[in-house]
Structure 1
Amino acid sequence: MAGMPPKLAEIVEEFASAPRDVVLEMLLEYSDAVPPLPEALADRTGMEQVPECQTQFFLRAEVNPDRTVTTWFDCPPEAPTTRAFAGILAEGLAGASAEEVLTVPDDLYQRMGLAQAISPLRIRGGTAILGRLKRQVREQLA
């Protein structure tokens, strides 16, 4: 997966090569990987809502002075699939540079083989999360 942050490429490969019946279990594990919001973001100030998600989903990406990107996600535990997308991005993009984040393919979830495991509506929500994250990074680099 050229250009993609190495950790994210590893996650994509794990999912792509996993048997279909294991994919949902793997997703649920990632739903627990979403770190809690820092106190400064507890009221979601400065976070962007992703209306394409069926559930309330908020995110924020910040390009640090060293050009690495820090991400924050807020999604209720009752939405495990959507939380899993956030967990995958949180873990896969940890320590990634702005340039690496921008090279993440827009069809990430299809590459992971998730299109066969979850609904198109959820895929669309996940794709919107990634799109907004990348847009926030692009805006901060401009």
Structure 2
Amino acid sequence: MTTPASTTIPAQLAEIIEDFQALEEVERLELLLEFSRTLPDLPERLAEHPEQLEQVVECQSPLFLTIEVDDSPERRVQLFFSAPREAPTTRGFASVLHEGLNGLPAAEILAVPADVPDRLGLTRAITPLRMRGMSAMLGRIKRRLEQDALSNHVS
């Protein structure tokens, strides 16, 4: 059954959420750890210029991100994250967002509901502070896209 809220979740992110929800709680943590190992490294042009990334201070572990929006009519978004390997929860959340949102049009990302982190079914297994960190990552991405849209309309 599709609810109105689920219709705003892009297919690739909805599939990830379904994968998490199909598992028992302990297995969900294992899946999050698997995601932590698949977070892509920063491209060299960003790795050499960390000042181009913005820290998400709400995360317990250091997490930095940036977005790039192309010039196409869809304004497709590329997401870039940096988090230490010793922070698997933070890396896992970043990787979920990367895999679920990267390459999508900005409008689709902006329509993603704020409760996506809760839909992964990790709220009992992960501390509320860590859950807020993932919500903050999504919120920061959306704010950056809104700022980008405003600056493109002004110029």
Normalising by structure 1, we get a TM-score of 0.95
Matching of residues 22-61 of structure 1 within 5 Å? 22-42=27-47, 43-61=49-67
Alignment of structure 1 residues 1-142 onto 2, 5 Å: 1-42=6-47, 43-66=49-72, 67-142=75-150
- 4+ runs deviating over 6 angstroms: none
Larger RCO of the pair (alpha carbons < 8 Å, separation 6+): 1
Structure 1 residue 75, shift from structure 2 partner? 0.3
What RMSD in Å do the two structures reach over aligned CA positions?
1.0
Q: CA deviation at 1:59?
A: 0.3
Task: Please give the per-residue CA displacement for 1:73-108, whole angstroms capped at 9, x wherever unaligned.
Answer: 000000000000110011111221101111111111
CA distance in 2, matches of 1:104, 1:114: 18
Post-superposition offset of 1:114: 1.2
Structure ranking higher in helix proportion: 2
Task: Return the offset for 1:18.
Answer: 1.4
SS at match of 1:2: helix
Shift of 1:46: 1.5
Matches of 1:20 and 1:36, distance apart in 2? 28
Aligned to 2:153: none
Bigger-Rg structure (1/2): 2
